[in-house]
Amino acid sequence: MNTAPVPELFTWEFATDPYPAYAWLREHSPVHRTTLPSGVEAWLVTRYADARQALADQRLSKNPVHHADDAQGKSKTGIPGERSAGLMTHLLNIDPPDHTRLRRLVSKAFTPRRVAEFAPRVQELTDGLIDGFAARGSADLIHEFAFPLPIYAICDLLGVPREDQDDLRDWAGMMIRHGKGPRGGVARAVKKIRRYLADLIHRKRLGDGDDLISGLIRASDHGEHLTEDEVVAMCFVLLFAGFETTINLIGNGTHALLRHPEQRAVLQSALARGEHGLLETGVEELLRFDGPVEMATWRYATEDLEIGGVAVAEGDPVLVVLAAADRDPARFDHPDTLDLARRDNKHLGYGHGIHYCIGAPLARLEGHTALATLLTRLPDLRLGEDPAELRWRGGLIMRGLRTLPVEFTPR
């Protein structure tokens, strides 16, 4: 019989390295009832097979009205402030048939082709940000690189005029406290963003632009359009589902590469030879190994059901722990080894099923461009701080660093 104590979750040590606790849970209590720091009781699903099944199980709803203790339906997407600003009706809070309709409409505008055509602009943004610190020989890669890149990229794609993008960057920074703004003020920042987006969408409606907002306005399906409120909520979720996630892809990914010098050296020489295959498998592996989304956004049981043989009652919240599933030895060989060339890598970092990340092509484009450009332009990039001193943010849904100090030969 197992006598090992249940590991403590949600401590500082856990935020720094949750993987030993996840290994314990996968082995001893794979569907684990716990009390979250907020006091809410929830189930953590940590094995790959259970996680994949739960993500596709339509009896697990995304709509917070199904939470037994939370009849007001508070948002649990990890996106701050959306409820108070009336921005709840978006993909991450709804189920079919509404989800099917909205997802079909947004897919018509947010196409892989639109993203592919955007590649030169992502390269230009990436180079511009590196130009800002390359001569200095040191930088904080979170604040100076990983934070601004995705917000400028999604603003450009949506069609936010350049002169307004710094405002959005600052409001977004207030929301997740990466920026220079004062602490707090989340609700105020979200309201400003909402007002800004509603006004911008109104102006776009009068024009015939080819940006993503104009595409969303025009998207139609059997004569159906997105309503004004739906376009606002859609722009909001595109901004924020893709913002902190991409910061953390770049932050966690660079951190993992700098801590695995042999792997990084192989990638660097492949890039120097102009070979990009290892970059593509490598970014998928970085997502598996230490991905931005630690737990998928919340789900609620709409009836009594079983997950991995454990009874889950109607109304119970369920958190699918992607970070634990993606290190499951039952699915991945040597799961704790970073192997940039890993081929059999169906990780759950972008989720699975109907809520699979709609921004994955954009995230991949940004991840590939950011990492390849950093390693090529700053070839001797190294950590500027003892890894033990690095601070992780310790949120429930996202996993990411507060800062990532680096050093390199000035260029």
Give the integer Cα–Cα distance in Å for 349 and 351.
6
Q: Kindly state whether residue 40 participates in binding ligand HEM, applying the rule CB under 6 A.
A: no
Least Cβ distance, residue 115 to ligand HEM (angstroms): 9
**Interstrand relation of 60-61 and 382-383 (parallel, antiparallel or unpaired):** unpaired
Q: Which of 376, 369, 393, 363 is nearest to 287 (CA)?
A: 363
Whichever of 146 and 408 has its CB closer to ligand HEM, that residue is: 146
Is residue 297 near ligand HEM by the rule CB under 6 A? yes
Q: Which of 44, 54, 79, 296 binds ligand HEM (CB under 6 A)?
A: 296
> In this complex, which beta carbon is closest to ligand HEM, that of residue 173 or of residue 359?
359
User: What does the buried/exposed string (b/e) look like for 162-201 if buried means 16 or more CB atoms within 10 Å of the residue's CB?
Assistant: eeebeebbbbbbbbbebbebeeebbbbbbbbbbebbeebb
Residues 80-99 that bind ligand HEM (CB under 6 A): 91-92
The residue nearest ligand HEM at its CB is: 359
Q: What are phi and psi of 33, to 5 degrees?
A: -85, 130
- The answer to whether residue 126 forms part of the interface with ligand HEM (CB under 6 A) is no
| 400 contributes a contact to ligand HEM by CB under 6 A | no
CB of 152 to ligand HEM, least distance (A): 12
SS3 state of residue 175? helix
The window from 5-13, 242-250, 369-377, 387-395 that contacts ligand HEM (CB under 6 A) reads 242-250
Q: Between residues 24 and 106, which has the closer beta carbon with respect to ligand HEM?
A: 106
What span, in angstroms and rounded, lies between the C-alpha atoms of 348 and 328?
Answer: 11
> In the complex, what is the shortest distance from the CB of residue 111 to ligand HEM, in angstroms, rounded to a whole number?
12
Among the listed residues 105, 149, 241, 318, the single contact to ligand HEM using CB under 6 A: 241
**With helix as H, strand as E and coil as C, how does 222-266 read?**
CCECCCHHHHHHHHHHHHHHCCHHHHHHHHHHHHHHHHCHHHHHH
| Identity of the residue, 87 or 241, whose beta carbon is nearer to ligand HEM in the bound complex | 241
Give the SS3 label for residue 134.
coil
How many Å apart are CA 340 and CA 371, to the nearest integer?
Answer: 13
Contacts with ligand HEM, residue ranges (CB under 6 A): 55, 91-92, 103, 154, 237-238, 241-242, 245-246, 249, 291-293, 296-297, 349-351, 355, 357-359, 362-363
